Structure 1
């Protein structure tokens, strides 16, 4: 128990404070940097900051859900999704820096809140746990699609990252459904959307 607590605490510190790493090449990394105005750079950096916060939350959610799951197959699926989300962290972090922006100052708060939600979701059993994962990924997919509509058209690097993230999120949702995810009640989905809206609007500025 103590060893596991230390491991999980170390993971949290690394997620929030240490630079993330990626195995796959950064999507769009081969594209030339677009000639964006200062306002376009600030806007793109703010959107990528939101996406980075989303990945911080995803890491915490998966951590909490995996800790509560008693199924090795589900824990492995959560770990695989978490590995890809770590790459998303690295991609968005690099892009924020390229655009001259900064990561959210509230990342520790986002992480703590998402971890608590993941632990709570896991207490309802693996099928509801998977249902929460599937719905989270569907909402993230829709959120990323919205960013593609408002990112500067010339910002090919940011758009390539968001496109690949969206593809990965779809795969995570499909995996959760294949493993037996239950469909969440409409009230829970609405509450998730409201919580996400608070995070995204705050992270755009802070």
Structure 2
């Protein structure tokens, strides 16, 4: 029996299912957590809350990444581009699961605003893909570049003894750099002014809110 060709409605419904899984905390990692072999350390209450805030930001960032990739893959024109976006989204699912697991270890929770961030990021991804695959891939390049920068900042802000969180963020940073490079090689363009600045502004709002809420 021939496999049925998926229609745009099929892709939309599948995307809706992934959205529910993402914001509900259901995704599971394929790769083991980079923190799996590292011992937990004692953090005082102030340190624990601070680390939880940073990991909540990173978890929300991965929710946004899932939404962005889902929106982009829905309207991607080239099948190879769609396959690349889905592969990158799978790695981002690992990040999402790792951050969720770390939040539980810290007796904390994801951001309550994740459904809002997902919806906004999905719309941006779909809009970029509707313009062209080159613009869509350009959004990947700029997004991953900014995420890599803020992960570097978070690594510096972690308590020195928190090797578990550090290992997770270092692997995420490596993966994000790889995504940006692959998107550039596939034809991602530099986004025109003022889009990168607006993206940084939106990221600042998200990080400020997610750290607390």
> Do both share a fold (TM > 0.5)?
yes
Aligned positions, number: 206
In structure 1, which of residues 3, 7, 11 is the aligned counterpart of residue 14 of structure 2? 7
**Between 7-16 and 80-89, the greater mean CA deviation after superposition:** 7-16
Match of 1:143 in 2: 150
SS in 1 for 2:200: helix
TM superposition shift of 1:50: 0.3
In structure 2, which of residues 34, 40, 44 is the aligned counterpart of residue 27 of structure 1? 34
TM superposition shift of 1:30: 1.0
In structure 2, which of residues 125, 130, 135 is the aligned counterpart of residue 128 of structure 1? 135
* Aligned counterparts, 1:157-176, within 5 A: 157-176=164-183
Match of 1:67 in 2: 74
CA distance in 2, matches of 1:29, 1:2: 39
Q: Is the 8 A contact 2:69 2:86 kept in 1?
A: yes
Match of 2:58 in 1: 51
1:107 aligns with 2:114: yes
TM superposition shift of 1:22: 1.0
After the TM superposition, list the runs of 4 or more consecutive aligned residues in structure 1 that deviate by more than 4 angstroms: none
SS in 2 for 1:186: coil
In structure 2, which of residues 40, 44, 47 is the aligned counterpart of residue 37 of structure 1? 44
After superposition, what is the alpha-carbon deviation per residue over 1:152-188, rounded to whole angstroms, capped at 9, x for unaligned?
Answer: 1110000000000000000000000110111112311
TM superposition shift of 1:5: 2.7
Match of 1:86 in 2: 93
Match of 1:195 in 2: 202
Question: Unaligned 5+ residue runs, structure 2?
Answer: 1-7
CA distance in 2, matches of 1:169, 1:155: 21
CA distance in 1, matches of 2:144, 2:17: 25
TM superposition shift of 1:19: 2.1
**What TM-score, normalized by structure 1, do the two folds share?**
0.98
The Cα RMSD (Å) is 0.9
CA distance in 2, matches of 1:138, 1:61: 15
TM superposition shift of 1:2: 3.4
CA distance in 1, matches of 2:90, 2:10: 21
In structure 2, which of residues 182, 186, 200 is the aligned counterpart of residue 179 of structure 1? 186
Q: Is the 8 A contact 2:11 2:74 kept in 1?
A: no
Q: Is the 8 A contact 2:23 2:63 kept in 1?
A: yes
